[in-house]
């Protein structure tokens, strides 16, 4: 049985629906029995359990009989409590949380214990982390040691719901960069870069994207640096700020992680006349047609060769639910490498990407030079 924590939330409902499609038995766990009843109506009754995040005894009872715990709650709320509950129960754990500090903590603090318990702990198993992690692993084949890994995101923010996703990802917790073979806190520097995407997107202005690959990729790719970038138009909500966004981004990042971020949003809205990102219309550089995202991993080998892997797909929330559910099903079925892992080391990267075909995700690997 697979336990789904925060089964009443949007991600929990999407994940549960996918378990239903494949006939995977689930235990729905949440903070309210009334809300749980709404997820599991009598016509399709499933086991449910009420357990607050800080109630270890209730969590223990809820996880009895489960082989995997899927955490669909925000990492800032659930933190390490659910990882602790899973390890105490001797079961596998997965989440889609992309916060770098959360991911790094799990790798550093729980890898030895998870290995001894013969269970897998797999954070960041969602869009914005897992796809780029798998692409980097595939692009790095025969290109190690590498001087750098660059993972770039081109996003149709309005169509995919990415605006909310990036806001949540870039405001939670401490942010790191990986340079010269080590992690360090984000330096105060002008945040500007350019990246060449496949046609028809082409060359785009990029901003630093504090996603999980900065933490996960160095665990399986021998590289001196990892950079994660996103199209600036997907990150900046106010068109009038785009020309100066690379210069003010370091300040914005600090403000967004502080208690005055709401004040900043109101001031920015006033300065731009309340115009939202929808005002850009056709001027926004995004993937074409029904493609909502394109992710590219580019690996530069010390030998001079360059490998590139590309994936494209649709709605980021649906894609995340699909990745999270597939990983949990594989773990429940016995596909286990004990310890704390990223998507690329917990599972076969090509198999995980192939499993997303039903969600409209396609991918390829090629040599650039």
Portion of the chain with pLDDT greater than 90, in percent: 62
Q: Please report which confidence band the pLDDT of residue 252 belongs to, taking 50, 70 and 90 as the band edges.
A: low
Q: Please report which confidence band the pLDDT of residue 249 belongs to, taking 50, 70 and 90 as the band edges.
A: low
Question: What local confidence, expressed as pLDDT, does residue 75 receive?
Answer: 83
- pLDDT reading at 6 higher than 90: yes
> How far is 315 from 190, CA to CA, in rounded Å?
31
* CA nearest to 93, candidates 336, 321, 352: 336
* CA nearest to 291, candidates 352, 360, 234: 360
User: Looking up tokens 């340079």, which residue turns up?
Assistant: 179
- pLDDT reading at 118 higher than 70: yes
Query: What ranges in the chain are assigned the alpha helix state H?
Result: 10-22, 33-39, 56-63, 75-78, 81-89, 100-117, 130-139, 157-160, 162-171, 213-216, 232-235, 245-256, 261-271, 316-332, 343-346, 349-354
Q: Tens digit of pLDDT for each residue in 199-243?
A: 999 999 898 888 999 999 999 999 999 999 998 888 776 666 666
CATH superfamily of 2-124+317-347: NAD(P)-binding Rossmann-like Domain (3.40.50.720)
User: Looking up tokens 């996880």, which residue turns up?
Assistant: 63
Strand partners, 340: 121
> How far is 222 from 296, CA to CA, in rounded Å?
18
DSSP 142: T
Q: Tens digit of pLDDT for each residue in 292-338?
A: 899 999 999 999 999 999 999 988 889 999 999 999 999 999 988 99
What global pTM score does this model have? 0.85
- Note the Cα 340 to chain centre separation in Å: 16
So where are the chain's domains? 2-124+317-347, 130-316
- pLDDT reading at 352 higher than 70: yes
- Look at the domain 130-316 and name its fold: Dihydrodipicolinate Reductase; domain 2 (3.30.360)
Strands (E), 158-249: 176-179, 182-185, 193-196, 203-208, 226-231
Q: Please report which confidence band the pLDDT of residue 179 belongs to, taking 50, 70 and 90 as the band edges.
A: very high
Tell me the pLDDT of the chain averaged across its residues: 84
User: Looking up tokens 């899973």, which residue turns up?
Assistant: 86
> How far is 355 from 311, CA to CA, in rounded Å?
13
Question: What local confidence, expressed as pLDDT, does residue 274 receive?
Answer: 46
Q: Tens digit of pLDDT for each residue in 72-84?
A: 998 877 879 999 9
Question: What local confidence, expressed as pLDDT, does residue 32 receive?
Answer: 80
Report the range of poorest mean pLDDT among 39-53, 105-119, 333-347. Answer: 39-53
Q: Which residue has the higher pLDDT, 248 or 53?
A: 53
């Amino acid at each position: 049985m697979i336990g789904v924590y925060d089964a009443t939330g949007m991600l929990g409902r999407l994940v549960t629906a996918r378990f239903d499609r494949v006939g995977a038995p689930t235990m729905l766990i949440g903070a309210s029995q009334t809300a749980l009843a709404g997820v599991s109506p009598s016509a399709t009754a499933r086991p449910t359990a009420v357990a607050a995040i800080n109630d270890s005894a209730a969590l223990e009872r809820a996880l009895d009989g489960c082989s995997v715990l899927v955490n669909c709650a925000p990492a800032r709320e659930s933190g390490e409590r659910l990882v602790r509950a899973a390890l105490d129960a001797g079961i596998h754990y997965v989440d889609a949380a992309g916060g770098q500090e959360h991911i790094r903590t799990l790798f550093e603090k729980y890898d030895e214990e998870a290995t001894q318990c013969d269970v897998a702990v797999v954070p960041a198993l969602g869009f914005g982390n897992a796809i780029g992690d798998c692409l980097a692993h595939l692009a790095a084949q025969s290109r190690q040691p590498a001087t750098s890994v660059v993972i770039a995101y081109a996003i149709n923010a309005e169509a995919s719901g990415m605006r909310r996703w990036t806001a949540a990802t870039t405001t939670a917790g401490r942010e790191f960069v990986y340079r010269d073979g080590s992690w360090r806190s984000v330096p105060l520097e002008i945040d500007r870069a350019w990246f060449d995407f496949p046609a028809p997107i082409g060359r785009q202005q990029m901003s630093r994207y504090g996603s999980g690959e900065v933490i996960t990729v160095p665990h399986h790719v021998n590289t001196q640096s990892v950079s994660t970038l996103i199209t600036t138009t997907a990150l900046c909500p106010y068109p009038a700020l785009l020309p100066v966004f690379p210069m003010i981004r370091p300040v914005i990042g600090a403000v967004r992680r502080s208690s005055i971020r709401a004040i900043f949003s109101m001031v920015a809205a006033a300065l731009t006349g309340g115009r939202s990102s929808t005002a850009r219309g056709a001027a926004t550089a995004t993937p074409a047609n029904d493609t909502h995202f394109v992710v590219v991993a580019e690996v530069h080998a010390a030998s001079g060769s360059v490998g590139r892997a590309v994936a494209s797909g649709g709605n980021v929330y649906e894609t995340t639910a699909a990745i999270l559910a597939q990983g949990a099903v594989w773990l429940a079925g016995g596909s286990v490498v004990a310890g704390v892992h990223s998507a690329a080391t917990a599972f076969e990267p090509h198999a995980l990407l192939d499993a997303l075909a039903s969600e409209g995700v396609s991918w390829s690997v090629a040599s650039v030079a």
